[in-house]
Amino acid sequence: MSLEKVVFGFFVLLAATLNFGFFIGDIDDPLLHNEYELFAAVVVNLIATVLKFGDRTQIGAVHLATSLVADLQLIAATLAWAYATQISSHGLDGEAMASVVSLSGGALAANVVSVVLLVIETVSFQRR
Amino acid sequence: MPRPNDAARPRQARRWTRIAAAMQGSAPIFLILRRMRAPLIVLITIFAISVLGLTLIPGQDAAGQPRRMGFFDAFYFMSYTATTIGYGEIPHPFTDAQRLWVMASIYLTVVGWAYAIGSLLTLLQDRAFRQALALQRFTRTVARLREPFLLLAGYGQTGQLLGRMFDALGRRFVVIDTSGERVDALDIDSYHADVPGLVGDARNPHTLDNAGLGHPYCAGVLALTDDDEVNLAVTMAAALMRPELPVIARTISPAIQYRMAAFGSPTVVNPFDRYGDHLRLALRAPSSYQLMVWLESGLGAELPQRGIPPRAGRWVMCGYGRFGRELTEDLRAEGLEVTVIELATAAGADPSIVVGDGSEPGVMARADLDQAVGFVAGTDNDTTNLSLIAAARRINPNLFVASRQNRPETAPLFAAMRVDSLLVPTEVVAHEIYAQLSTPLLWRFLREMPGLGDAWAEQVIARLRTHCGQRLQRLWKTTLNGQEAPALTRWLEAGGATLGDLLRHPEDRDRRLDVVPLLVLRGTAATLGPDDDCVLAAGDQVLFAGQSWARRALLDTMQVDSVSEYVLFGRYVPSSWIWQRLTRRPARPRVPTTRTYR
């Protein structure tokens, strides 16, 4: 067992689960979507991205690409949330919440791909 | 002899020959990413903890009501605090609990930033990283070259000399050398063109590949290092990867020369061997030798002095290494008597060998120097050579002195000694390679020229001096075909086209252009030093020497119809299409007027 693989798998999976946890629930109901969970999802996604740096294999490149997509989507979601809470005169209404959650939903898709890649990598790994 | 500079190569041939597509150098961006992994994770974690802490710790607003900080404010606050900018406590003054947390997080984040920035700066200073960057930049520059270039493996004295000569001709080249100092010197040297240089081992085929061995515009490979083994490896790699490329290698060992010849047909230059040939030529035909040295010395070279070595008598040779042996053989082959002074006794009981140190007074006397006509100082130490020359001159001031100069720094000393014939191995190699690669027909000319005799060479020198002056002007090759000389096609087909008519001045056809035709090549038959009555035919290749303005004037004659009409037939023809239509006259038989030059 390699500690590196444990940490890597942990962060990739945690990024996906946190993302899922924030995403689930009615899309326009602010009560069902915790901002702390979004914050945790952003942080864990960023760490997962950095962990994927510097791997030059084909699967490593796709891994990094999915993470970058998830980061982009989650940061967009955060910006939408910050706009709604701080700048917009309407505050965090259903419309704003819907856009935040749908953006995080896109990130979830990327994270799912990332997890699928992780599974494929694990299954195809042959121990001699 | 393949011609390296034929610009019109078929389009299909211009493809990369990849030695190993997968073997690319590590891209620097991956190196940065890998090394920055730990610092970035530390930074993200510290930020996350600090921001999260700020949102969780209870605070109060201006009215004293309990209120927690939002993520937006917390991130904003941490961003300017961590980067040591610091705008104060917002949106409301902090409580003591918040201040305690902020205090801890300030120290944490500053450490995080310092770690990340420090790692990045260390990485930029890193040797491996810089090498990776330099390799990538070099490979990219070479790959972008869009004109024929030469690959120089080894940038020592020979390489630098050749580099300057080719640069003066406007030719491009790429350099590989093991010494970082020499490659750095490329930036300081005043070249017209940008010369890409790489520090690397030329024995490695991948280094050669990065330097453009597989590049469609690579026009030739020169192996010029002072290590015969490396030169052999470069020759081998070039012959195996690009068999069609001309390869020129330098060596001083006949064994290596033999091994190189096993790979294709590289041109091998052995400076000692060549110097012997040159000295023999100088003995037999001083003017031919003078002409050869002049033409090999490159653009702007002054006419060298004509040294006349004594053709009869006894020579004394000091230093019997590789050079001494070669030269002794050559001199004996010319029927000259040679006495050798050699320190080592390995030479055996040969009566013509005097054993001893040449710098000792008694040894010189034993070689009967006062009766000799020529003296060669051929050791591999310049100080020894200089003192030998001085000692020999003291005994016999009328000696013809030849010497070997090993280091470029001692050149002024040898010049002050007024040595009659000087061998500088690096120059011999550079001039030889220049003659082979600079102008396609020059090599042919130089090889066949000695056969025409000394008097003929003297005439050519005289012609060159009248037309081009004391310094060597540009040499260029012209092919009289539809592509290079479209205005001459009908004239050449009509027959009776003489070189003299072609060389009339476009401004005043009674004058002659200051151009000396050196060689006319028809098929495989070469005419050296053709005179003005020489009849040209379509497809002939001509080697000219002359000023660059004369070259441009000749180009006008060859390409512009109105100019060629005037130069060849003395007719004024309008140059624009409309006027040509308007003034069209019935065609007259095109017979060149046979007026001679004024």
Q: What is the CATH number of the domain that holds B532?
A: 3.30.70.1450
Residue B465 falls within a domain, yes or no?
Answer: no
Q: B554-585 pLDDT, tens per residue?
A: 888 888 777 788 888 877 776 666 776 777 65
B336 with B292, same domain: the answer is yes
Nearest CB to A53 within list B36, B44, B45: B36
Tell whether A53 is within 8 A of chain B (Cβ): yes
Distance CA B255, CA B292 (A): 28
Verify that B100 and B185 share a domain, yes or no: no
- Cβ pair B303, B461 in contact under 8 A: yes
- Return the pLDDT at B597: 54
> What integer pLDDT is reported at residue B23 of this predicted model?
44
Give the distance from residue A56's alpha carbon to the nearest chain B alpha carbon, in angstroms.
8
Could you tell me how many residues make up chain B?
Answer: 598
Domain contains B447:
no
Residue B436 has pLDDT above 60, yes or no: yes
Of B31, B44, B55, the CB nearest to A46: B44
Query: Exposed/middle/buried for B84, CB within 10 Å: 0-12, 13-18, 19+?
Result: exposed
Are B63 and B202 found together in one domain? no
Work out the average pLDDT over B134-159: 89
pLDDT in tens, A21-46: 999 999 988 899 999 999 999 999 99
Has residue B331 been placed in a domain? yes
Distance in angstroms (rounded) separating the CA atoms of residues A37 and B421: 89
The least confident of A124-128, B240-244, B376-380, B406-410 is A124-128
Look at residue B21 and tell me whether its pLDDT is greater than 60. no
Confidence band, pLDDT 50/70/90 cuts, at residue A74: very high
Could you tell me if residue B10 is inside a domain? no
Q: Are residues B498 and B416 in the same domain?
A: no
Q: At what angle do helices B425-437 and B271-284 cross, to 10 degrees?
A: 80
Same domain membership, residue B496 and residue B530: yes
Per the DSSP assignment, residues forming a β-bridge with B177 are B199
Structural domain including B219 reads: 145-269
Same domain, B339 and B304: yes
Residue among B34, B36, B41 minimizing CB distance to A47 = B41
Q: Is residue B317 within a helix (H) or strand (E), and if so which, with residue range?
A: strand B314-318
Helix or strand run (H / E) with residue B175? strand B172-177
Same structural domain, B264 and B328: no
Query: Tokens standing for B289?
Result: 């030798």
CA distance B40 to chain A (A): 7
pLDDT of residue B351: 61
How many separate domains does chain B show?
4
With a cut of 0.90, is the ipTM above it?
A: no
Does B427 share its domain with B302?
Answer: yes
- Tens of pLDDT, residue by residue over B457-473, are 888 888 888 888 888 88
Query: Looking at the structure, do residues B290 and B242 belong to the same domain, yes or no?
Result: no
Flag if B45 and A47 touch (Cβ within 8 Å).
Answer: yes
Query: CA angle, B326 as apex, B325 and B330 as ends, to 5°?
Result: 115
Question: What is the reported pLDDT for B306?
Answer: 75
Distance CA B566, CA B501 (A): 11
User: A80-84, B154-158, B356-360, B521-525: which has the minimum mean pLDDT?
Assistant: B356-360
Give yes or no for residue B42 having a pLDDT over 70: yes
Find the helix or strand (DSSP H, E) in which B296 lies. Answer: helix B286-296
Q: Which of B125, B153, B171 is the last residue of a domain?
A: B125
Confidence of residue B589 (pLDDT cuts 50, 70, 90): very low
- Residue A115: pLDDT band (50, 70, 90) is very high
Q: Between these two residues, B6 and A121, which has the higher pLDDT value?
A: A121
- The reply to whether A36 touches chain B by the CB within 8 Å rule is yes
Record: contact A53-B71, CB cut-off 8 A: no
> Quick one: B281 and B421 in the same domain?
yes
User: First vs last Cα of chain A: how many Å apart?
Assistant: 14
> Averaged over A59-84, what is the pLDDT?
93
Please indicate, yes or no, whether residues B324 and B352 belong to a single structural domain of this protein. yes
Share of chain A above pLDDT 90, in %: 66
Average of per-residue pLDDT across B479-501: 83
Q: Judge whether residue B593 has pLDDT over 70.
A: no
Annotated domain spans of chain A:
3-124
Residue pLDDT, tens place only, B263-276: 878 888 888 888 88
Whole-structure pTM value: 0.69
Report the range of poorest mean pLDDT among A103-107, B18-22, B86-90, B374-378: B18-22
Is B23 contained in some domain?
no
The Cα of B31 is separated from the nearest Cα of chain A by a number of Å equal to: 7
Percent of chain B with pLDDT over 90: 9
**Of B246, B269, B292, which residue constitutes the final position of a domain?**
B269
Average confidence (pLDDT) over B60-69:
86
Output the average pLDDT for chain B: 82
pLDDT for B393: 85
Q: Is A50 within 8 Å of chain B by CB? A: yes
Give residue B313's pLDDT.
81
Q: Does B258 touch chain A (CB under 8 A)?
A: no
| Distance to chain A for B103, nearest Cα, Å | 22
Q: Is B85 a member of any domain?
A: yes
Q: Which of B247, B269, B291 is the last residue of a domain?
A: B269
Shared domain check, B414 and B280: yes
State the pLDDT at residue B1. Answer: 39
Q: Per-residue pLDDT tens for B161-202?
A: 888 888 888 889 999 998 888 888 888 888 888 889 999 888
Q: What is the CATH number of the domain that holds B97?
A: 1.10.287.70
Give yes or no for residue B445 having a pLDDT over 70: yes
Integer Cα distance of B121 and B106 in angstroms: 22
CATH number, domain of B291, equals: 3.40.50.720
